[in-house]
């Protein structure tokens, strides 16, 4: 979707990835296939482009540094370095006064046994680095579970986070330009299944005070990190109405995919505008919208019933071009619009349900 936005505005796109025939590579002018750790290949790639940006944050910091030797990197490699590691990210947030759940560093089973109970009766053990969509996470209910939980982490550096009794999960996606100007897409509401985003509703069902606070926090995080580009701040809304930051993502986020259809300027075009030093676009939501993820499980019984979903007015289909479907893999999404957010959500879910109804196909 970023490459589509860039091509629509007349830019040439080169993409660098360890894989071939990637979703971006299918749209780009040039697809370079090499490991991120091949810094000479990274340098050659960077010399051919005017600016480098990122599709996800699990790119080694050394890769960003190598690219920065020859061209602009937005967001900066230092932003990636902070946000790709949960421990560094949480320390940054805590040090700057942002609201986060209690956490502890864990480097051994002895550490884990010692800190269980310090942060509450329940916690979640997470790998410090390179985790997403619920990967590298184990819920812990008692000290007796420490040894098994640590064994499953295979000796990786971890962080133990307090279990949060939350009412809902929300996020704010914002963009910051080279001149420091910031725009955002308001607060959206997110439902997860198996730790993977399932449904996003825009606008989210929060109070005016919660919306104002979440947007202020997102803006302050962008300024403190000195982000040029797009950043998503994910929040827990606690049972007493407070906001706690769960994670940061310094790039277009799954919960903002609705913007490709429902906003004047999508999050992908904002990433392009910010990266290329252009003024940021309007984030106006044209109509209430919802986004439903399409996971690889939908292909278990054959090709989904695309016609069934697309027969519903206001539904848009996005398939990413991934070469194989497997359970838990994000293959695409549906966007639905309606007169209210609730109507849009109901339509998105009904359209996804129609995909598995093959009675008429």
How much is the mean pLDDT over the chain?
Answer: 94
* Res. 22: pLDDT tops 90: yes
Say if residue 33 is exposed, middle or buried (CB neighbours under 10 Å; 0-12, 13-18, 19+): middle
Which CATH number describes the domain made up of 166-355? 3.30.470.20
Please tell me the predicted confidence (pLDDT) of residue 130: 66
Please tell me the predicted confidence (pLDDT) of residue 9: 96
51-52 and 72-73 beta bridge pairing: parallel
- Which tens digits make up the pLDDT trace of 206-237? 999 999 999 999 999 999 999 999 999 999 99
Q: Which of 293, 292, 185, 169 is nearest to 230 (CA)?
A: 185
According to CATH, the topology of domain 2-73 is Rossmann fold (3.40.50)
CB-CB contact of 293 with 198 (8 Å): yes
- The enclosing H or E element of 211 equals helix 208-225
* Domain range annotation of the chain: 2-73, 102-162, 166-355
Superfamily of chain region 102-162: ATP-grasp fold, A domain (3.30.1490.20)
Q: What is the pTM of this model?
A: 0.94
Strand spans (E) along 77-195: 103-106, 123-127, 137-140, 158-162, 166-176, 182-193
Q: Do 2-73 and 166-355 show the same overall fold? A: no
């Amino acid at each position: 979707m970023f490459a589509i936005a860039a091509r629509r505005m007349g830019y040439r796109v080169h993409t660098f990835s360890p894989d071939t025939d990637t979703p971006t590579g299918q749209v780009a002018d040039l697809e370079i296939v090499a490991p991120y750790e091949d810094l000479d290949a990274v340098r050659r790639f960077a010399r051919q482009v005017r600016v480098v940006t990122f599709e996800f944050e699990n790119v080694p910091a050394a890769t960003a540094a190598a690219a920065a030797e020859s061209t602009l990197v937005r967001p900066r490699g230092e932003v990636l370095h902070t946000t790709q590691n949960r421990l560094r990210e949480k320390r940054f947030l805590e040090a700057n006064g942002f609201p986060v759940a209690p956490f502890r560093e864990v480097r051994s089973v002895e550490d884990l046994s010692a800190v269980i109970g310090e942060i509450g009766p329940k916690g979640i053990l997470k790998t410090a680095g390179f985790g997403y969509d619920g990967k590298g996470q184990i819920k812990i209910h008692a000290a007796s579970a420490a040894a098994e939980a640590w064994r499953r982490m295979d000796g990786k550096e971890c962080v133990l986070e307090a279990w949060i009794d939350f009412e809902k999960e929300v996020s704010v996606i914002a963009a910051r330009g080279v001149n420091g100007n910031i725009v955002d897409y308001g607060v959206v509401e997110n439902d997860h299944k198996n730790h993977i985003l399932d449904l996003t509703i825009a606008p989210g069902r929060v109070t005016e005070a919660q919306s104002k606070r979440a947007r202020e926090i997102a803006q302050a995080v962008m300024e403190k990190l000195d982000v040029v580009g797009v950043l998503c701040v994910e929040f827990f809304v606690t049972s007493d109405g407070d906001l706690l930051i769960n994670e940061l993502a310094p790039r277009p986020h799954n919960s903002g995919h609705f913007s490709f259809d429902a906003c004047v300027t999508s999050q992908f075009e904002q990433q392009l505008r910010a990266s290329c030093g252009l003024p940021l676009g309007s984030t106006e939501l044209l109509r209430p919208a919802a986004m439903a993820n399409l996971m690889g499980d939908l292909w278990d019984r054959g090709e989904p019933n695309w016609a069934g979903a697309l027969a519903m007015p206001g539904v848009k289909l996005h398939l990413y071009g991934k070469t194989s479907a497997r359970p838990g893999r994000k293959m695409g999404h549906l966007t639905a619009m309606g007169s209210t957010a609730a109507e849009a959500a109901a339509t998105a879910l009904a359209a996804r349900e129609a995909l598995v109804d093959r009675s008429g196909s």
